[in-house]
Structure 1
Amino acid sequence: MKHYHPLTVQSIAQETQDTVCVSFAVPEELADTYNYLQGQHVGLRKKFDDQDIRRSYSIASSVQDGRLDIAVRKVEGGIFSTFINNDLKVGDTLDVFPPVGTFRTELEPSAERTYVAFAAGSGITPIYSIIKTTLEAEPESRFVLFFGNRNGRSIIFRNRLTDLKNQFMGRLSVYHFLSQEENDIELFNGRLDGKKVKDLLGRIVPVDAIDEAYVCGPGTMIEEVTAALVEEGVEPSRIHHEHFGVTDAAAKNAAPRAKNAKTGQVNLTVIRDGESFNLQVQQTDKPLLDEIADGGIDVPYSCKGGVCCTCRAKVVKGKAEMVLNYGLEEDDVKKGFILTCQSYPVSDNLILDFDA
């Protein structure tokens, strides 16, 4: 099972008025632990007034960069994001969970593909990692990015994207859309919604040219863009999406109780770091992750909102029902993996393996 490790902040760069890019120094003995793939994220952990707060942030560097960067936009009322933007200093240490996540496709050096990405706000963070890694790993592939923001000042990685366009001349196209500032071209005004996407596909990139599509942003944006892509003829299996975060309020709320959740006692076995722990759970309205924590067993988690996959475990025996899932791929679910922060037992006996 993966564990948090203290990493030192190597540099902090101001990207916008309310967003910083943080780079961590990874010691040589942990290099393999923090090797990552494009589109993955890491969890951060810190105590605030004796309260253990955890959040997940997408990696903002390419696999070939040899760095571990994250971008953090300050959220109103956000404990962790405010601390990182206002108080974090170079030389400080933070507990960082190793990279996880499946928001990507397999890359092949000989491939000649056309990728399309739709990002909104800080949803650009994993998209930037995916774009840079892909263009470096597949010399014959090209990428088209549609990027929505409020105004020009709020565009995260604006200069980096410009540099990337210059580096990969003719292979990267970037189109900015502003919802609170007028563009000279009417097409680029407004939000990236379903109607806008259908218009773009007709004018800029034909549907039959798209090999893979990525979508990252707020939930409603993901739903609208994905629906529009499918309606226009893009195969659902070629559309990959990721919600870019969970608010503090959402992280505090328990998952809604599963319809078939077991009432009464459940015999729960947790496998962690090769050891087995047995719990007698008198089922309440708590998801499995909270029941395990109440039993004194330390297992990994971060967002508690069904997004980050840090609390992933495999059902070895018995049955559990997952009520929300924004992070696991369909293949993972078929193999028996669940997000314990969003799952409830539905059988008398349940064995969960966090090492799988």
Structure 2
Amino acid sequence: MARFHPLRVTAVDRLTDDSVALTLAVPPELRAEYRHAPGQHLALRRTAEGAEIRRTYSICSPAPEPGGDGPRTLRVGVRLVEGGAFSTYALKAIDVGDELEVMTPAGRFTLEPAPGHYAAVVGGSGITPVLSIASTLLTREPGARFCLIRSDRTTASTMFLEEVADLKDRFPDRLHLVTVLSREEQQAGLPSGRLDEERLTDLLPALLPVGDVAGWFLCGPYGLVQGAERALRGLGVARTRIHQEIFHVDAGTAPAQTAVTPAHSTVTVRLDGRGGSWPVQDGETLLETVLRNRPDAPYACKGGVCGTCRAFLVTGEVRMDRNFALEPEETEAGYVLACQSHPATEQVELDFDR
């Protein structure tokens, strides 16, 4: 069960004009709880003007070694979002010595190290989880190779530029790094411009044997991730080999459906070993219903992006407004996003523990 704990900030590193990396110390008694797989994320929360604000940020540091006591520190990257309540606070107010409320790790955009050839297409802050994935894989698994294709606006706006360069220096023969800048010409390498479906369809087969890649990891803006997925599917890559995580979805992208709650709908929930049943008010999501009665229900973005509120649909039917977090295999298996789900039947049962 996901839980929040206060963690002390031990470093605030400026990455670009609009992004920072926060390092958090994990005390010995909490290290087992903060053990994470490469690619997972943390939800951070604060209260401002009486309202609770939660945001999700991926862990960029390597995953701890198996069998150990867990990580001593965690590092996340935060990029400023225009009007962002938490990102503005992170860039302008957080300092060394501050304590932040941090949820235990979550997320399924992960790779357990294994031999093979892996690749990623990332844009902007999408490098954050992939940095953890690639560094953990190359360090632990001598029989693995990784191709990192990253897109940024300019060199100055590129997050974790030095960290990726250091990783390339450590593993020159096993890390293939390709950088594309959309608003700046490079002296060497690929021409500038956006990485869209058409360009990736031409580029990827020229870089590596697409069909031999054991896992593709796509992370970044919605348009880039969707274009990369279409390019890969067009090149014959199986859906099960494509993993994606979207950091931000603009308003109006895949607009929400209108949901009408059946009269007298009730949701029954199992959460952290305890159950309960509550009436669903007209128009509210199942997560909103649960939170009115169980404030400890897991959530972060409430936008269908992070997947923190994933639950198993035991009985009944629901309509999801949007889904940018669950893989098709997960929805086919019966999982839903509580923050996007409205009851389509009078009785719905969710299990957050499964």
Partner residue in 2 for 1:265: 264
Separation in structure 2 between the aligned mates of residue 317 and residue 297 of structure 1, nearest angstrom:
23
| Farther off after superposition, 52-61 or 313-322 | 313-322
Distance 1:256 1:52, change over 3 A: farther
Deviation at 1:182, TM superposition (A): 1.0
Where does the alignment leave 5 or more consecutive residues of structure 1 unmatched? none
Partner residue in 2 for 1:90: 96
Q: 2:334 corresponds to which letter in structure 1?
A: G
Note if contact 2:278-2:289 (Cα within 8 Å) is conserved in structure 1. no
Deviation at 1:134, TM superposition (A): 1.1
Q: Report matched runs for 1:8-157 at 5 Å.
A: 8-64=8-64, 66=71, 67-108=73-114, 111=115, 113-157=116-160
Distance 1:228 1:77, change over 3 A: same
Percent identical pairs in the alignment equals 40
Deviation string, structure 1 residues 47-75 (Cα, Å, up to 9, x no partner): 11111111101111111483311000111
| Farther off after superposition, 321-330 or 29-38 | 321-330
Q: 2:100 corresponds to which letter in structure 1?
A: L
* Corresponding position: 1:221 with 2:224: yes
Deviation at 1:46, TM superposition (A): 0.4
Let me know the Cα RMSD of the aligned residues.
2.0
Where does the alignment leave 5 or more consecutive residues of structure 2 unmatched? 66-70
Deviation at 1:266, TM superposition (A): 1.2
Separation in structure 1 between the aligned mates of residue 330 and residue 227 of structure 2, nearest angstrom:
25
Deviation string, structure 1 residues 230-273 (Cα, Å, up to 9, x no partner): 112222211111102357x79xxx95334xx5420112222222
Separation in structure 2 between the aligned mates of residue 235 and residue 270 of structure 1, nearest angstrom:
35
Separation in structure 1 between the aligned mates of residue 220 and residue 279 of structure 2, nearest angstrom:
40
Deviation at 1:295, TM superposition (A): 4.2
Note if contact 2:218-2:228 (Cα within 8 Å) is conserved in structure 1. yes
Deviation string, structure 1 residues 269-304 (Cα, Å, up to 9, x no partner): 22222222221224x122111122234654121100
Aligned residues: 346
Deviation at 1:189, TM superposition (A): 1.1
Deviation at 1:185, TM superposition (A): 4.4
Question: Tell me, what secondary structure is at the counterpart of 1:95?
Answer: strand
Partner residue in 2 for 1:349: 347
Separation in structure 2 between the aligned mates of residue 135 and residue 296 of structure 1, nearest angstrom:
42
Distance 1:183 1:121, change over 3 A: same
Separation in structure 2 between the aligned mates of residue 313 and residue 204 of structure 1, nearest angstrom:
39
Partner residue in 1 for 2:244: 241
Q: Write out the 4+ residue segments of structure 1 that deviate beyond 4 Å after TM superposition.
A: none
Deviation string, structure 1 residues 64-122 (Cα, Å, up to 9, x no partner): 483311000111211100110111011111111111111123432xx2x1111111100
Note if contact 1:102-1:327 (Cα within 8 Å) is conserved in structure 2. no
Question: Tell me, what secondary structure is at the counterpart of 2:265?
Answer: strand
Partner residue in 2 for 1:277: 276
Question: Tell me, what secondary structure is at the counterpart of 1:265?
Answer: coil
Note if contact 2:119-2:147 (Cα within 8 Å) is conserved in structure 1. yes
Note if contact 2:119-2:216 (Cα within 8 Å) is conserved in structure 1. yes
Separation in structure 2 between the aligned mates of residue 77 and residue 318 of structure 1, nearest angstrom:
38
Separation in structure 1 between the aligned mates of residue 132 and residue 4 of structure 2, nearest angstrom:
22
